Structure 1
Amino acid sequence: MTSLHTYHRGDGLPVVLLHAFPLDHRMWDDVAAALPATRPIHAIDLPGTPGHDDQLPPPSLDTSALRVADALAGAWIERAVVVGLSMGGYVALALAERHPELVAGLGLVDTKSVADTPEAAANRLRIAQEVESAGTVDAVRPMVKALVGETTLAARPEVADRVEAWIGAQPPAGVAWSQRAMATRPDRTRVVADLSVPVTVVVGDEDGLTPLAQAEHMVAASATALLVVVPRAGHLSAVEDPETVADALEELAVRAEQGA
């Protein structure tokens, strides 16, 4: 089963947060704390995270999206603002494609709608094999320097230490599973274009993994998207500047409630 973690119960339209790779729901703790306590706020641990790495199905982000749908149904959530960062954004797009009725608004944070290049997909598969063979997550520990922006690394090294600890807590089998699932995902730009609900695209201006050009690509595809650039933040803008990201997501939730 996929775990749903509730930060606030509140009233109104729920916000559901989907985490990046190779992390889990804890990366959203500070954003959830910055969102209004009057709004239902939930985060979901995707397949492969601690406690969710046994008897994994064949790798697929569509499977992750279906498990998100099941988690929402189990919590009696019929419609929500769905927000995903990086891999969480890929899963949010898969959910919007398969279950558009669940998505009242879409937040795409430091992510992209295009598929991996053949070279990037091959690298994911190589790392998956390496992690699996070694039985450790050592192959992905260096990712912290790509995930966290240069300004944060220099001025607040404790943020990088926190991210590194989260990475170290991930099960090797889950890391391998997620890499293989991401390697096979399709281009979902069409999903962004077809959505009629409000969309907000957020990107750190120091994000080197899914840079501003990828955010602009999604905004250009959508008739309803707004772009928010987070200054002095990298790929984990939600961890590096949770207040700015929370403000963008609350604005998205208000637009979704208003049907704008």
Structure 2
Amino acid sequence: MMQKNCTWSGGTIAYTIYGEGIPVVLLHGFGEDSSIWNRQVGFLQQHCKLIVPDLPGTGNSQWGIVNGEWSIVNRAEDSLTIDHSPFTTPSIDHLAYAIYELLLQENILSCYLFGHSMGGYITLALAEKYPSLLKGFGLIHSTAFADSEEKKKNRVRGIELMEQYGGYSFLKTTIPNLFGQKFKETDSPSINQLMEQSKAFSTLSLQAYYYAMMKRPDRTHILKGNPLPVLFVMGTEDVAAPLNDVLQQSHLPLISYIHILDGIGHMGMWESTDRMNQLLLSFIQQ
């Protein structure tokens, strides 16, 4: 295991490298850090070289700003803007560029990239802008669709709630909904652990992520006819990346690997660890 840092134009990104072999990058989602993949790391590092970063604004990864330089300036229900100085408005594309800079620093010319939830949005952005760097990629409980108008209004409301009550309070109410019913009944300590970890997250960064997700474009065109192999992992009880939404996209690439986890919500890495580990390894070794 080796912990490293990469400086890019928008700040610094901290990441950990495990194992040797085929490069594989694991991107976490909103309200998470790189530890969300811990149940995969121990298994996959025996078979490949894992690069697991904390996205800018999470953990030891920093935006190129001082906390407090962002402020929410328009709280109208139908719109929201973030005052930014000196950093440009945060976007999914900026996060993808941070991962690109990390790969350049590591001299990685070709890798597999897997993104969970928001990490999947970043994966698609990187697949659009730097396709030559990828051997294949996976959307883990994620979607290529842009937010619907209703979802955008919910994002604005979420940013409002975080402004009023703080990021930790917001995540405490949303994290339990990410899990399937069985996991909530049998492993509540894990859910409580995830909620406890969320105390460390900056409210400003969480708001910035929500804003970036709200503004992201539809990227189904990246999937359509894509010659790279694409892995889709979805859960039947996933309320954040609904099964029907992801199924509509899964036929678009030329080569799709489609896996539906029965009784699983949005967090298959924890809810169905062994199955997820095997799916990722099989895809890498295909």
Q: Distance in 2 between matches of 1:140 and 1:57?
A: 26
Cα contact 2:18–2:45 (8 A) shared by 1? no
Q: Which residue of 2 aligns with 1:158?
A: 189
Higher RCO, Cα 8 Å, sep 6+: 1
Q: Which residue of 2 aligns with 1:47?
A: 56
Alignment of 1:52-91 (within 5 A): 52-54=61-63, 55=65, 57-91=88-122
Specify the SS of the correspondent of 1:200: strand
Which amino acid counterpart does residue 176 of structure 1 have in structure 2? Q
Alignment of 1:106-255 (within 5 A): 106-255=137-286
Cα contact 1:109–1:201 (8 A) shared by 2? yes
Which runs of 5 or more residues in structure 1 are unaligned? 256-260
1:27 has 2:58 as partner: no
Give the deviation of 1:133 after TM superposition. 4.6
Which runs of 5 or more residues in structure 2 are unaligned? 1-11, 66-86
Q: Distance in 1 between matches of 2:192 and 2:284?
A: 31
TM-score normalised per structure 1: 0.92
Deviations 1:203-222 (A, max 9, x none): 12221221221221221212
Give the deviation of 1:7 after TM superposition. 2.5
Q: Which residue of 2 aligns with 1:38?
A: 47
| Pair 168,38 (structure 1): closer, same or farther in 2 beyond 3 Å | same
Deviations 1:169-225 (A, max 9, x none): 211111011000000001101101142111110012221221221221221212201
The structure that is strand-richer by fraction is 2
Specify the SS of the correspondent of 2:60: coil
Moved more, 46-55 or 145-154: 46-55
Give the deviation of 1:83 after TM superposition. 0.1
Deviations 1:146-183 (A, max 9, x none): 11111100111112112212322211111011000000
Specify the SS of the correspondent of 2:46: coil
Q: Distance in 1 between matches of 2:186 and 2:245?
A: 26
Which amino acid counterpart does residue 241 of structure 2 have in structure 1? T
Q: Which residue of 1 aligns with 2:15?
A: 4
The structure that is helix-richer by fraction is 1
Deviations 1:222-259 (A, max 9, x none): 2201111123321011122222111111111112xxxx
Superposed CA RMSD in Å reads 1.6
Q: Which residue of 2 aligns with 1:258?
A: none
